[in-house]
Amino acid sequence: MGLFRMDKARRLIIAGNWKSNKTNTEAVALVTDLIRDLSTVKEVDVVVCPAFTALSDVSRLVLESNIRLGAQNLSDAGYGAFTGEIAPGMLRELSVRYVVLGHSERRQYQNESDALVAKKAANAHANNLIPIVCVGETLAEREAGITERVVETQVRGSLAGLTAEQVEATVLAYEPVWAIGTGKTASSAQAQEVHAFIRKVLASMHGEAVAKRVRIQYGGSVKGSNARELLGQPDIDGALVGGASLEAKNFVEIIRNAI
């Protein structure tokens, strides 16, 4: 157990994004194992984000545990004639606390724009849900030397219209697209550099005090063996975990390495 986080005011947040994996039965089995294995963890916020179809059952199971519930998307509207959309009230009833927004897979396959992500983030805040807003450059953008420009545009665009208070309560996730599901992790130095840059952008938008309080997760092939070094960086405040969150043993190992 390390004390390396003592200097950081921000509490670590480690979230598992199960994506389009796990039937309801499988999700129940996974979360049952996590509740058992993580029952003593108090030092970090642990979040699981199952598919919508599993939220109800998982919600009932985590209610009395130290695990919080997240969803993987949210409508930019409320109830109404929006076929296929999930309104905030539906998530609130299930005690969902977080919503992942603007994941690169949604930006890529559903053409989600920064403007749409900003509308969804505003909708989340208006309904007491905490958005986890994802940003990150592609490999081509990194190789072209435009990582900072791309990430700054995404941060400004995806948080546009939010108040300083809402930005402060938002979780950001820096996820280089080239590191997602590829087994290629950004080095801790590469990740720290972009996280520090994002904090600078936040400071220029809403001032130093707000920027210092925003939690910024890293995502991209995080696993037990690299978690400690990544999470030890001064501006990395947690992890958004895809593949390694699908097996209790792997996700638990990441959390054990974070405390």
Q: Which residues bind ligand PEP (CB under 6 A)?
A: 17, 175, 180-181, 219-222, 240-244
Residue 195 is among the residues annotated as catalytic for this protein:
no
Helix H or strand E encompassing 188 = helix 188-206
Active-site residue, from 103, 125, 195, 206: 103
Q: How far is the CB of 247 from ligand PEP (least distance, A)?
A: 12
Q: How far is the CB of 82 from ligand PEP (least distance, A)?
A: 25
Other C-beta atoms lying within 10 Å of the C-beta of residue 176: 27
Our CB check for ligand PEP shows the closer of 159 and 227 to be 227
- The first and second tokens of residue 14, run together, are 């480690």
Which residues, other chains included, contact 203 with Cβ-Cβ below 8 Å and sequence gap of 6+?
Answer: 210, 211
Q: How far is the CB of 159 from ligand PEP (least distance, A)?
A: 19
Our CB check for ligand PEP shows the closer of 76 and 178 to be 178
Q: What angle do CA 104, 108, 111 make, to 5 degrees?
A: 115
First-residue to last-residue Cα distance in the chain: 6
Our CB check for ligand PEP shows the closer of 210 and 255 to be 255
Helix H or strand E encompassing 119 = helix 114-126
Residue 175 is among the residues annotated as catalytic for this protein:
yes
C-beta separation of 61 from 28 below 8 A: yes
Active-site residue, from 112, 168, 175, 195: 175
Our CB check for ligand PEP shows the closer of 86 and 246 to be 246
Our CB check for ligand PEP shows the closer of 17 and 233 to be 17
Q: How far is the CB of 27 from ligand PEP (least distance, A)?
A: 17
Helix H or strand E encompassing 215 = strand 215-219
Q: How far is the CB of 219 from ligand PEP (least distance, A)?
A: 3
Q: Find the residue with minimal CB distance to ligand PEP.
A: 242
Which residues, other chains included, contact 204 with Cβ-Cβ below 8 Å and sequence gap of 6+?
Answer: none
Give the dihedral sign, CA 88/23/178/221.
positive
Q: Active-site positions?
A: 103, 175
